[in-house]
């Protein structure tokens, strides 16, 4: 009996399970178990739109029951607490599960780099956390109440969030960024300057070369000692792999992500695959670390599902080669910028392309009906 456990029903885990099931449906003695703390899949990259009420939680989640209808996948709603790689068991809330093959796709979680008062920070890392920010903003009021929003971190998530709040709620939003430009890891200074200009036109303030030292309930202290009044502080300045990954004893690298081989297997643990944001994916040619994004998670899911079939049927596995075609950033509801397959897109066109890419993900995850419905009603 082969028992394949997939941890996490985000982009990486869910797609691995779905693609695997299609291929092993007719094989006897193969059991697929998918575990997630939520009984829904979330289109997590749209969670910043929940914050301002542009989207509702229902618009960006889809029940597992619907997704797994007629599938030979057992779904367990439980929290993964740990993995015993030696005894091949997973500890979940409510008991232990044994496996013959394991896929770890638990995504990432915020990291605060020992900033004091982290418990006072909000994060936008899931639908639930976005709803918490929305409720807090509602309670605080708006510009008339002099609400001051501070976003810690001027990367992709921080910029999308700040843009959305500045555009939709007209509140005073300040981004604190440690480096000398917004979006430093994107590595395209032209885009950083343009985004800075657009955000400032929307009324947002940008503090570069500054770091957050302490977060208090109504103040943020910077590394130069300056204090800023703050109604709500939202941290987007750093993520690391799910703690289950680095606490399990797997070899990890940048961002505590699991080091993987050319088949996406964890080093020293054959049959344990790591997919999505918690894997350290490296381009085999350039040796560059690939960004944590949906495109790479889906490519890994495709490759790992094929490798699992090869494992089950004594076939030959294919080497995984990541291909990153680009990202599009939304700054509020009217401006976007990015590159797709090397081509620059900007303005409303960029937002339309972003929407089409999202519909493509919905189609891959949930099928054509959901994608059409989403295109017409929800996006
Ligand atoms: C605000 C925001 C905006 C983004 N924008 C973009 C974008 O525009 N384009 C893009 O390509 N990428 C974007 N990303 C990144 C993208 O969402 C991730 O790269 C992608 O979701 C990674 O997929 P994953 O399967 O690794 O993790 P996830 O999709 O995060 O899935 C992880 C799953 O594991 C579950 N889980 C985690 N821990 C546990 C546990 N202990 N027990 C049980 N279940 C658990 C979670 O509930 C979740 O379902 C964005 C991310 C955020 C937060």
Give the closest residue (by CA) to ligand 1 atom 4. Answer: 45
- Predicted pLDDT at 376: 62
- Predicted pLDDT at 144: 80
| Ligand 1 geometric centre to CA of 316 (Å) | 30
Closest ligand 1 atom, residue 275 Cα: 26
Q: What is the CA radius of gyration of the chain?
A: 21
Q: What are the pLDDT digits (tens) for 21-80?
A: 999 988 889 999 999 999 999 999 999 889 988 899 999 999 999 999 989 999 999 999
Is the predicted pLDDT of residue 379 greater than 70, yes or no?
Answer: no
| Ligand 1 geometric centre to CA of 45 (Å) | 7
| pTM metric for this prediction | 0.96
- Predicted pLDDT at 272: 98
Between 299 and 169, the more confident residue is: 299
pLDDT exceeding 90 applies to what percent of the chain?
A: 88
Q: Does domain 2-37+78-109+239-315 have CATH number 3.40.309.10?
A: no
Is the predicted pLDDT of residue 129 greater than 60, yes or no?
Answer: yes
- Of the given ranges (136-145, 326-335, 344-353), which has the lowest mean pLDDT? 136-145
Nearest to 213 by CA among 152, 154, 255, 159: 152
Give the closest residue (by CA) to ligand 1 atom 48. Answer: 10
Average pLDDT of the chain to the nearest whole number? 94
| Ligand 1 geometric centre to CA of 277 (Å) | 7
Residue in this structure with the two tokens 């779905």, named with its chain if needed: 18
Other residues' Cβ atoms within 10 Å of the Cβ of residue 144 = 8
| Cα 159 from Cα 176, distance rounded (Å) | 10
Is the predicted pLDDT of residue 115 greater than 80, yes or no?
Answer: yes
Give the closest residue (by CA) to ligand 1 atom 20. Answer: 294
- Predicted pLDDT at 371: 82
| Cα 30 from Cα 2, distance rounded (Å) | 5
| Cα 5 from Cα 16, distance rounded (Å) | 11
Give the closest residue (by CA) to ligand 1 atom 17. Answer: 45
Closest ligand 1 atom, residue 13 Cα: 25
Residue in 107, 257, 299 to alter for ligand 1 test, most ligand atoms within 8 A of Cβ? 107
Over residues 71-97, mean pLDDT: 97
- Predicted pLDDT at 77: 98
Give the closest residue (by CA) to ligand 1 atom 37. Answer: 106
Is the predicted pLDDT of residue 135 greater than 80, yes or no?
Answer: yes
Over residues 131-145, mean pLDDT: 89
Closest ligand 1 atom, residue 294 Cα: 11
Residue in 45, 256, 300, 365 to alter for ligand 1 test, most ligand atoms within 8 A of Cβ? 45
- Predicted pLDDT at 171: 82
Is the predicted pLDDT of residue 375 greater than 80, yes or no?
Answer: no
Q: 314 in the Ramachandran plot: left (φ > 0), alpha (ψ -120 to 50) or beta?
A: left
Which residues fall within 8 angstroms of residue 103, CB to CB, at 6 or more apart?
Answer: 4, 5, 6, 7, 13, 16, 17, 273, 274, 275, 304, 308
Is the predicted pLDDT of residue 235 greater than 90, yes or no?
Answer: yes
Give the closest residue (by CA) to ligand 1 atom 10. Answer: 293
Which residues make beta-bridge pairs with 75?
34
CA-CA-CA-CA dihedral for 296, 297, 303, 306, to nearest 10: -160
pLDDT exceeding 70 applies to what percent of the chain?
A: 99
Query: Which residues make up the CATH 3.50.50.60 domain(s) of the chain?
Result: 2-37+78-109+239-315, 112-235
- Predicted pLDDT at 377: 55
Q: 187 in the Ramachandran plot: left (φ > 0), alpha (ψ -120 to 50) or beta?
A: left
Give the closest residue (by CA) to ligand 1 atom 35. Answer: 8
- Predicted pLDDT at 367: 87
Residues making up the chain, counted from first to last: 379
Which protein residues touch ligand 1 with a CB less than 6 Å away?
A: 8-13, 35-38, 44-45, 47-48, 79-80, 105-107, 124-125, 157, 242, 244, 276-277, 292-295, 297, 327
Give the closest residue (by CA) to ligand 1 atom 46. Answer: 8
pLDDT range class, residue 378, cuts 50, 70, 90: low
| Ligand 1 geometric centre to CA of 227 (Å) | 33
Taking the CA atoms of 60, 124, 173 and 183 in sequence, report the sign of the dihedral they define. Answer: negative
Name the H helices within the chain. Answer: 11-24, 48-51, 64-67, 127-140, 156-169, 189-201, 243-247, 294-313, 348-366, 368-373
Which residues fall within 8 angstroms of residue 87, CB to CB, at 6 or more apart?
Answer: none
Residue in 10, 55, 81, 299 to alter for ligand 1 test, most ligand atoms within 8 A of Cβ? 10
Give the closest residue (by CA) to ligand 1 atom 7. Answer: 45
Give the closest residue (by CA) to ligand 1 atom 41. Answer: 80
- Predicted pLDDT at 57: 92
Top-level CATH class of 112-235? Answer: alpha beta
pLDDT range class, residue 119, cuts 50, 70, 90: very high
Give the closest residue (by CA) to ligand 1 atom 30. Answer: 107
Q: What are the pLDDT digits (tens) for 170-196?
A: 888 999 999 999 999 999 999 999 999
Residue in this structure with the two tokens 């509801």, named with its chain if needed: 333
């Amino acid at each position: 009996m082969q028992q394949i456990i997939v941890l996490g029903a985000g982009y990486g885990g869910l797609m691995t399970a779905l693609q695997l099931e299609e291929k092993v449906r007719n094989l006897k003695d193969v059991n697929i178990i998918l575990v997630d703390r939520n009984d829904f899949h979330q289109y997590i990259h749209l969670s910043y739109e929940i914050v301002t009420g542009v989207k509702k939680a229902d618009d960006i989640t889809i029940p597992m029951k619907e997704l797994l209808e007629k599938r030979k996948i057992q779904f367990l709603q439980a929290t993964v607490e740990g993995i015993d790689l030696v005894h091949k068991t997973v500890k979940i809330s409510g008991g232990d599960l044994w496996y013959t093959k394991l896929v770890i796709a638990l995504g990432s979680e915020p990291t605060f780099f020992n900033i004091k008062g982290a418990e006072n920070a909000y994060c936008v890392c899931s639908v639930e956390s976005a709803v918490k920010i929305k409720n807090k903003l509602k309670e605080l009021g708006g510009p008339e109440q002099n609400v001051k929003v501070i976003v810690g971190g001027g990367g992709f998530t921080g910029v999308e969030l700040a843009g959305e709040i500045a555009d939709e709620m007209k509140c005073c939003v300040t981004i604190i960024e440690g480096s000398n430009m917004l979006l430093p890891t994107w590595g395209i200074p032209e885009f950083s300057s343009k985004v800075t200009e657009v955000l400032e036109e929307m009324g947002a303030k940008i503090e570069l070369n500054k770091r957050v030292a302490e977060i208090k309930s109504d103040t943020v202290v910077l590394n130069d000692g300056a204090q800023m009044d703050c109604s709500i502080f939202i941290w987007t300045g750093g993520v690391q792999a799910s703690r289950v990954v680095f606490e399990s004893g797997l070899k990890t690298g940048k961002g505590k992500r699991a080091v993987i081989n050319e088949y996406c297997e964890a080093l020293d643990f054959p049959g344990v695959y790591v997919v999505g944001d918690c894997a350290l994916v490296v381009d085999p040619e350039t040796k560059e670390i690939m960004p944590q994004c949906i495109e790479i998670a889906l490519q890994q899911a495709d490759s790992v599902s094929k490798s699992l079939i090869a494992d089950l049927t004594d076939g030959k596995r294919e080497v995984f080669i990541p291909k990153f075609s680009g990202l599009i950033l939304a700054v509020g509801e009217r401006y976007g910028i990015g590159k797709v397959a090397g081509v620059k897109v900007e303005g409303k066109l960029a937002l339309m392309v972003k929407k089409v890419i999202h519909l493509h993900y919905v189609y891959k995850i949930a099928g054509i009906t959901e994608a059409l419905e989403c295109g017409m009603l929800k996006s």
